[in-house]
Amino acid sequence: MTIKITPSYKEISDRKVKARDAKFIKEWLAPESILPDSSVKDVTKWIKESGCLNDLELEITEADAPTIIENIKTKKWRAVQVAEAFGKRATLAHQLTNCLTEIFFEEGLQTAKELDEYQDKTGKTKGPLHGLPVSLKDNINVKGHATTIGMVKYCFEPEIMDTDSVIVTLLRNLGAVLYVKTNVPVAMMMPETTNHIWGNTTNPMNRLLSAGGSSGGEAALLKLKGSPIGIGSDIGGSIRIPASFQNLYALRPSFGRFPTYGARSGLPGLESVNSVNGPLSISLESMETYCKAIIGQEPWNHDAKVIQMPWRTVELPEKLNIAVVVDDGWVRPVPPVRRGMNIVINKLKEAGHEVIDWDPEDHLRASQIISGFFLSDGGVHIKEVTEPTGEPFFEYMKGYETATELPVSELWKLQAERTTLMKKFLDRWNATASQTSNNKPIDAIIMPATPFAGSPNAKFRDYVGYTSPFNMTDYAVGILPVTRAVKDLDLKDPESTNHSKTDTTIWEDYDPEEVHGGAVAVQVIGRRFEEEKVIEMLKVISKLLDHSDI
């Protein structure tokens, strides 16, 4: 047996975690003794019941963004009170799920103080988000802080950022209060949130389950109301998977609608498919407030890739035409997800909307193309970042270790195929007009965001084929919470469909007891750049659902 020297990555990570922990405000931490034992799975009600927050702090942190903004405007609440309440709650959320990375509560409080002073002095608010705390995924650069994206090399100098991402500049202009960044998987390229610095983020609805990824820290924090609105990013499902795992609302916008410039990418320079950022929240209203505020800043004057498109008013038809996919033919969703889809379908029909089937014929290929793009540099960049510290590859990331780099001529072929497939999706979308009773094409496709109602930590099976086809098409996609897994309702299927090896494995893995309480959410997929319409559809469909226990 060889004796190994502790690899340098461990030392750096330990130092980084200690540095973060030193930034917690001591009085805000719950004593270890009162924290729920790790055997307690569902911790979503713990904070409220713990006594750690007073009534006002609870009232503030349970409010949605419009309410917070309005109450600060009228001085019912001050920005500092709001920042404190969310800072405390974020601290507790972290203690329960390990969701935070960079912590800058003091800066947030300072910003809030300045906002209060500004308001007192001028009688005005600084901007449409005056005093609103906003949490950020740890790929977004904030001046003076690291952006680790879960990679050890990025922990310390010279990797402390000296400029803000464009989205941060806009948030500051709007009067938002920034106070935390949240955990992600290595390079943001896994659907579970774990890495060699911060470790794993668990799911507050069932801590045996993963928070999902890559915006998993955000999703766990938001679920526990440690933030009213958070920003995630999505290149293959990274907003949608964690949002669906935590039953949040979320929006994956089309590329070019929201500013992405100056954020750290796991695969910088990749453009065959573009990472986008978008909001996640327990509140649809909070999400809409965020979108209007950001677009209202004319982000096209700040990010050269954003298009000149103001936030538009959309009127939905009374009767929506919806196409659905319950099973994509490659991986059948587990029983609670299928039950969730049926709830949505039945509610839509009851309300008089028309439901037709969407044939997922090209989804698998679309998903393969996206994977091909991710791996097209043969993992050269990822290896450049991991090698200096010796941080090892997680099993899920092995593809980046072993991939063969493509020559550009091969990439061009893959890009050309993708363009053809985008056109086919568009034509098929238009052609649904021949299947609906009003001869209009569908307004949306509704389908699961993953085959899972949560997946046990470290066990996410290698399949993002429910989300990544819409990165390929670049459609605007919303996440709609539906219900939770119930062990007595969502029994194991008697037989596997054997669609594929992954499908069989997932069938074998499925344990109703294990995923009990896991989230069931679906995607509401609009056309490219139909962000406004997607939000309107989320509103309409949400009203049909019973959300009393999501």
Supply the minimum distance, in Å, between the C-beta of residue 424 and its own copies: 9
Residue closer to its own copies by CB (options 309, 545) is 309
Which of these segments, 71-79, 425-433, 496-504, 512-520, binds its own copies (CB under 8 A)?
425-433
Q: Residue 383 class from Cβ within 10 Å (0-12 exposed, 13-18 middle, 19+ buried)?
A: middle
> Which position among 14, 23, 45, 268 is part of the footprint of its own copies (CB under 8 A)?
268
**Could you give the string, one character per residue 286-325, with x where binding to its own copies holds by CB under 8 A and - elsewhere?**
--------------xxxxxx-xxx----------------
Output b/e per residue, 51-80; b: 16+ Cβ within 10 A.
ebbeeebbebbebbbebbbebbeeeebbbb
- H or E element, residue 205: none
Contact between 411 and its own copies (CB under 8 A)? yes
Distance, in Å, from the CA atom of 307 to the CA atom of 145, rounded to the nearest integer, reads 29
> Which position among 60, 222, 235, 267 is part of the footprint of its own copies (CB under 8 A)?
267
CB 422 within 8 A of CB 470: no
- Sheet bearing 133-137, strands edge to edge: 100-103, 177-182, 133-137, 230-234, 276-281, 249-252, 477-484, 519-525, 444-448, 321-324, 354-357
> Which position among 9, 104, 358, 425 is part of the footprint of its own copies (CB under 8 A)?
425
Contact between 363 and its own copies (CB under 8 A)? no
For residue 510, the number of C-alpha atoms closer than 13 Å in the C-beta half-sphere is: 27
- H or E element, residue 328: none
235 annotated to bind ligand:
yes
Enzyme catalytic residues: 137, 214, 238
Contact between 381 and its own copies (CB under 8 A)? yes
> Which position among 423, 501, 543, 547 is part of the footprint of its own copies (CB under 8 A)?
423
Contact between 492 and its own copies (CB under 8 A)? no
Supply the minimum distance, in Å, between the C-beta of residue 190 and its own copies: 20
> Which position among 376, 436, 468, 523 is part of the footprint of its own copies (CB under 8 A)?
376
The size of the interface with its own copies (CB under 8 A), counted in residues, is: 45
CB 40 within 8 A of CB 204: no
The DSSP symbol for 135 reads E
Residue closer to its own copies by CB (options 1, 304) is 304
Q: Beta strand 519-525 with 477-484: parallel, antiparallel or unpaired?
A: antiparallel
Contact between 540 and its own copies (CB under 8 A)? no
CB 209 within 8 A of CB 242: no
Residue 101: count other Cβ atoms within 10 Å of its Cβ.
Answer: 28
Tell me the binding residues for substrate. Answer: 188, 214, 235-238
Residues that bind its own copies (CB under 8 A): 256, 261-262, 267-272, 300-305, 307-309, 376-378, 380-381, 405-409, 411-416, 419, 422-423, 425-426, 430, 473, 527-530
